[in-house]
Amino acid sequence: MIDRYPAIVARCAGVADVVASVTFAREHDLPLAVRSGGHNVAGTAVCDGGLVVDLSAMRSVRVDPDRRTARVEGGATLGDVDRETQLFGLATALGVVSETGVAGLTLNGGYGHLSRQYGLALDNLRSVDVVTADEKVHTASADRNADLFWGIRGGGSLGIVTSFEFDLHEVEVYAFFAWFRADDAAAVMERTLEWTVDAPREAGVLAFAAHVPDLEEFPAEAWGDPAVAMLGSYRGDLETAADVFDPLRTSATPIVDLSGSMDYVSLQSMLDEDYPDGLRYYWKAVYLTEVTDDVVDIMVRYTESAPSKLSTIDLWCLGGAVEEVPNDATAFFHRDKPYMLTVEANWEDRDDDDANVTWAREAIADASELAVGGGSYGNFPGLNEDPAKLRFGDNYERMVDLKTEFDPENLFGSTGPVAPRSDSN
């Protein structure tokens, strides 16, 4: 999807290389982009005619099981972190695809299986090391460079984060993964929304509309049919974990139920094969204050009309630890929204680009026009075509202040939508 040609790619091995890259870009007035874990569908990891700071060789993970922390370099993926932390039965709150880059996911928020219990990925940060546009290296935390720490957590365009220090938690999981026919969507979604009201903090679920994949785990007669599925997890008493999801499992007759206890690394990589390198992607999101019949109708109707059967429309059930943090505690704003609708257009042929992008944009536009819809999410930004205020809400002006302070020449302009103030504004 992204057809850009940088002049230089700097393959950084450490922080000194990152500083040298920033210096070189400034001295030669080059556009600058940052490639971290590489799971980037918006195209911000590469620029035309400029310098790409490539952190992909910087992916070490250092676990301190006594302090329950992990120090993670900026090029690491979720799989890198999960593999190391699970050696000690620990994990931090990250996303749901192991090949996702830790940096991009965290700096823009980071929803995942642990969000209702432990918050966003950025809520689990103790500190970060950041190279700013003035070529200095800062450690930022709640009590050190606190303004920078505030803006990095959700803003992400104030510098290059070379390492993250995360809190860790004891994690064992039961996975709930059931598929239902699209004709049962209303009943399944009604039961799901009832369940989320009283669900234990240790449980979470992602509901999505999709087409049944052509895989042997699914009955052949259902292959290619529209469906509604749920992927959830529970981290309490595993002996009674299946009972937690019984209200969802019995909401209709499943096409297939793939639920069961599994190790956390397996849960985190369950969706990896759905997002292979080389596929074409366009993802957008809108927050919801309520899931109405119109929202469910959009999910079903647009799934049936999708140009590609690889695409999905996902409903994230949020709340819990995420919403307990005030909206102005970090640059990330939309904490009080209980749901998020994401449209993932995934397809294979470049000739189908326009049809799939148009489909995704129209679905999000329909949802955004509802009284319950609004805002945007930095990890599903389309191609960053929407105004930054949709993402930052009432935090926007403070983000502009910080951008003006830490990156007045907008060196990191390709890494986020907020621009510094000019002399005339």
DSSP, collapsed to helix, strand or coil, labels residue 247 as: helix
Fold of the 173-374 domain: Vanillyl-alcohol Oxidase; Chain A, domain 3 (3.40.462)
- Give the per-residue pLDDT at 237: 87
Query: What confidence tens digit (pLDDT) does each residue in 172-208 have?
Result: 999 999 999 999 999 999 999 999 988 999 999 999 9
Residue 80 contacts residue 99 (beta carbons within 8 Å): no
Domain 61-170, architecture per CATH: 2-Layer Sandwich (3.30)
> Token pair of 99, please?
């090949």
H or E segment to which residue 256 belongs:
strand 256-257
Q: Which of 62, 141, 74 is nearest to 107 (CA)?
A: 74
- Give the per-residue pLDDT at 114: 96
Q: Which residues of the chain have pLDDT under 50?
A: 424
Query: What confidence tens digit (pLDDT) does each residue in 267-316 have?
Result: 999 999 999 988 999 999 999 999 999 999 999 999 999 999 999 999 99
Fold of the 8-54 domain: 3.30.43
- Give the per-residue pLDDT at 423: 65
- Give the per-residue pLDDT at 383: 93
Give the residue extent of every domain in the chain. Answer: 8-54, 61-170, 173-374
Residue 103 contacts residue 36 (beta carbons within 8 Å): yes
- Give the per-residue pLDDT at 405: 96
Nearest 5°: the CA angle 343, 349, 350 is 90
Q: What are phi and psi of 351, to 5 degrees?
A: -65, -15
pTM of the prediction?
0.95
H or E segment to which residue 84 belongs:
helix 78-85
CA dihedral of 206, 287, 102, 87, whole degrees rounded to 10:
-30
